[in-house]
Amino acid sequence: MVNRPTTNPPSPNLQRMFSALVPWYDFLNRLLSLRRDVRWRRRLAAGLPGWPSPIVLDLAAGTMDVALELARRYPNAKLVAADFSHPMLCRGREKWGCCQNTASLGLVAADAFKLPFRQAVFQAVTLAFGIRNMTPREVALTEIHRVLQPGGWLAVLEFGPPVHRPLARLYNLYLHNLLPWLGRLLSRHAFAYQYLAASIQGFPGPEAFLSELGQAGFRPLPPIPLTGGIAWLYYAIK
């Protein structure tokens, strides 16, 4: 039995940080990941079941790259993009307006800790590079579990530990030296890119995260390493 979350931690600093990044966000994502991020999100959408017209919540939607990918893959989907950063959603709406989508889209400014949806509404919840920012994670996962239909899918895309040691060494150098430097140089938001490195380092490895998913009431599938484990794809079923 999964209880409703009882806490709703305020996170105004995080909210402000993400909102300030909006003008640079997509550009730096592509640059700093060498465009791997586009493939990772595509892979996330491709791994969901082939429902004819699913109702999907893209949580921590940001500038809506995942929602756009879902719209391409599911032309009859009903999508809801939710994020606690209004400027992120506004940028996403501009991007959505530039594409010819047949899927329907609703935008909701909402905190993942207290989602303004009834229980068991969605067939899937997608969460790309969002869960790392949500503490306590178990509260966010419990809230996601609540809004999913029984049998519904949670798809999480998140950074993780590379699987091979030489790649891990290189990646750590990149994460702690090159990435904050590039982030500061290009976006002038040094803190955000230091935070990015620290939050990636602080996120649990696949085994521990699978166990958290299980504790939140999900049945996790085997995790999928992407680009040598720099990112991981998790699917879990309610």
CA distance 14 to 33: 22
Tell which one of 28, 80, 112, 124 touches ligand SAM (CB under 6 A).
Answer: 112
Tracing tokens 């105004």 back to the chain, one arrives at 12
Q: Determine if 84 is a binding residue for ligand SAM (CB under 6 A).
A: yes
Tracing tokens 């989907």 back to the chain, one arrives at 77
Cβ-contact 234, 213 below 8 angstroms: yes
Q: How far is the CB of 85 from ligand SAM (least distance, A)?
A: 3
Question: Stretches 11-19, 49-57, 143-151, 158-166: which one binds ligand SAM (CB under 6 A)?
Answer: 11-19
Residue 224 has which token pair?
A: 């999928």
- Choose between 155 and 213: whose C-beta lies nearer to ligand SAM: 155
List the interface residues with ligand SAM, window 118-157 (CB under 6 A): 128-130, 133-134
Cβ-contact 179, 197 below 8 angstroms: yes
- Choose between 88 and 213: whose C-beta lies nearer to ligand SAM: 88
Polymer length of the chain: 238
Degrees, nearest 5: CA angle 154-157-161: 130
Q: Determine if 194 is a binding residue for ligand SAM (CB under 6 A).
A: no
Q: Determine if 71 is a binding residue for ligand SAM (CB under 6 A).
A: no
Q: Determine if 60 is a binding residue for ligand SAM (CB under 6 A).
A: yes
Q: How far is the CB of 18 from ligand SAM (least distance, A)?
A: 4
Cβ-contact 158, 234 below 8 angstroms: yes
- Choose between 83 and 123: whose C-beta lies nearer to ligand SAM: 83
Helix (H, G, I), strand (E, B) or coil at 12: helix
Q: Determine if 216 is a binding residue for ligand SAM (CB under 6 A).
A: no
Q: Determine if 14 is a binding residue for ligand SAM (CB under 6 A).
A: yes
- Residues whose CB is less than 8 angstroms from the CB of residue 227 and which lie 6 or more positions away in sequence, other chains included: 36, 40
Binding residues for ligand SAM, rule: CB under 6 A, are 11, 14, 18, 41, 60-62, 65-66, 83-85, 88, 111-113, 128-130, 133-134
